[in-house]
Amino acid sequence: MKPVLLIDFGSTYTKVTAVDVDAPRLLGTANSYTTVQTDINDGLADALKKLEARTGTLDFCARYACSSAAGGLRMLASGLVPELTAEAAKTASLGAGAKVLKTYSFKLNEDDADEIRELNPDIFLLVGGTDGGNTECIIHNARVIKDIGGDYPVILAGNRNAARTCAKILEGREVHITENVMPSFNVLNTEPVQKEIREVFLNRIIQAKGLSKATELLNGIMMPTPSAVMAAIKLLAEGTENQKGIGDLVAVDVGGATTDVYSVAEGLPDDPRTALRGLPEPYIKRTVEGDIGMRYSIRGIVEAAGLKKTAAIANLSEERLNEIVDLFAAHTDLLPSDDETQRADEALASMAVRVAMTRHAGRMSEIFGLGGLQLIQTGKNLLNVDQFIVTGGSLIHTEHTGRIASYGFFDEEDPGSLKPKHCTVLVDRSYIIAAMGLLSQYYPDAALTILKEELVKDDGTK
């Protein structure tokens, strides 16, 4: 046996997962409260004690960790046109596992400056202009960032013709210059900026967040938890050199504060005559809905989905549902305790899945012109994706997971939304996706075997 320990320092819980990489299997999981305020190792030690109470003493040959503790990797970004470089900056940051607090477009004004000062991010990403294009906006914004002060690093990934000028303006600050996130019109170049974000996270953020004490115990690099989840999703879809993956998929993580959606698929139109509009879509895409979550952002679910509709699904009166929503929002650690709160929880989770999937998936619209019907697609076409992975407390701790997940599928009432038509639902019952993403950095085959073993099919009959 060759046991490996995977640790996820979350904002509330420190989750530990033990696996055997020799004969790949899950040995056990446990969790405890994250103790980032005092010594992060206290929470870890407690979780480990619980784990070993179940598995017996383990002699770990390696320990790896990811973290979303202390607010995660908090980023702000500014670009020029909202649909172009500003969107590109957001897409790139989300793909690097960041929590994007806000994305600004055009020139930053005094109010923006006040807000940025208040938000005090971990990283500011400054972009704008294609190479050889607009330089005025990014130079203006660099001046604003300089005047705001603060000591967070700034990553420059805009028009290369303005990079040196911006760096000069920001002299004295930690500045990283990298390739333009949109080097020419409508071309996305996210990898260089994502690499820079990861490096800043490793070299700086871990120190700043009091996580460095834990790194002494660790063998490998830390990564932001969403990056670990993305690595697992990619591995599961694509496989390794020795083992086939399961192919295109969608994954939804309904959390307490946000709902994350991942898709691995090209997402191109079925009909080649369809015109594509908007930014090119990344093959592996992550979107985060900051207003959709089961506790902190529970109000956002009813606001987006409608109280009436949600109440109908829960089979509760609107007044009663409203009361339960208020209760969950006020007591974020509360779990459903009776039939009514359970039904409300499931209806809210269903709506969270539907809203987040509708925002993540692309859209098809029809235009009648002189040449007849013309189809226009924006975003990703996920109609043919046939595997749907779900995780998050409200989905994995109920027997109705399949039914809740089906709210993320194609909906006859909204046929323009390109959500998956027929899907097998795979449930992350043991809550191991992030841990397997970490493991995949060192033992991809073991991680894939365990993922395939532990993700449970739900045929939605319950």
Partner 1 sequence: MEKQKKTLVIGVIGADVHAVGNQILYHAFTDAGFNVINLGVMVSQEEFINAAIETNADAIVVSSLYGQGELDCRGLREKCDEAGLEHILLYVGGNIVIGKQPFEEVEKRFKAMGFDRSFPPGTAPEVDIAYLKQDLHVED
Give residues in contact with partner 1 (CB under 8 A): 80-81, 83-85, 128-135, 161, 182, 184-186, 275, 367-371, 374, 376
Identity of the residue, 332 or 378, whose beta carbon is nearer to partner 1 in the bound complex? 378
- Smallest distance from the beta carbon of 139 to partner 1, in angstroms? 12
Instruction: Give residues with Cβ within 8 angstroms of 64, minimum separation 6.
Output: 4, 5, 6, 7, 218, 219, 220, 221, 222, 438, 439, 441, 442
The residue (of 64 and 104) whose beta carbon lies closer to partner 1 is: 104
The minimum distance between CB 376 and partner 1, in angstroms, equals 7
| 69/84 with CB nearer partner 1 | 84
Q: Burial level of 217, CB count in 10 A (0-12/13-18/19+)?
A: middle
Q: Is residue 452 classed as helix, strand or coil in its secondary structure?
A: helix
Smallest distance, Å, CB 185 to partner 1?
Answer: 5
Least distance in angstroms from the C-beta of 282 to partner 1: 19
Element (H, E) at 59: none
Strands (DSSP E) found in 269-403: 275-277, 284-289, 363-369, 372-378, 387-391
> Nearest distance from residue 132's CB to partner 1, in Å?
5
Q: What are phi and psi of 308, to 5 degrees?
A: -60, -50
End-to-end CA distance of the chain: 38
Question: Is 182 or 455 the residue whose CB approaches partner 1 more closely?
Answer: 182
CB of 34 to partner 1, least distance (A): 42
Distance in angstroms (rounded) separating the CA atoms of residues 323 and 255: 21
Least distance (Å) from partner 1 to the CB of residue 179?
A: 15
User: Strands across the sheet with 3-9, in order?
Assistant: 25-33, 13-20, 3-9, 62-67, 222-224
* Cβ closest to partner 1, residue 25 vs residue 107: 107
Q: Judging by beta carbons within 10 Å of its beta carbon (0-12, 13-18, 19+), is residue 36 exposed, middle or buried?
A: buried
- DSSP character string of 407-436: GGS--TTSTTB---SS-EEEE-TT--HHHH
- Give the span between the Cα atoms of 94 and 99, in whole angstroms: 7
CB of 186 to partner 1, least distance (A): 8
Helix (H, G, I), strand (E, B) or coil at 26: strand
Q: How far is the CB of 345 from partner 1 (least distance, A)?
A: 42
CB 118 within 8 A of CB 149: no
CA distance 273 to 268: 11
What is the greatest pairwise CA distance in the chain? 74
Between 35 and 130, whose beta carbon lies closer to partner 1? Answer: 130
In this complex, which beta carbon is closest to partner 1, that of residue 86 or of residue 425?
86
Shortest approach of partner 1 to residue 227 CB, angstroms? 28
- Contact (CB, 8 A) for 29 and 18: yes
- Is 87 or 260 the residue whose CB approaches partner 1 more closely? 87
Half-sphere exposure of 75 (CA within 13 A, CB side): 31
Gyration radius of the chain over CA positions: 23
Cβ nearer to partner 1, comparing 23 with 370 = 370
Between 143 and 213, name the residue whose CB sits nearer to partner 1: 143
Q: How far apart are CA 182 and CA 97, in angstroms?
A: 19
Q: Which is nearer to partner 1, 16 or 181 (CB)?
A: 181
Q: Minimum distance from CB of 106 to partner 1 (Å)?
A: 9
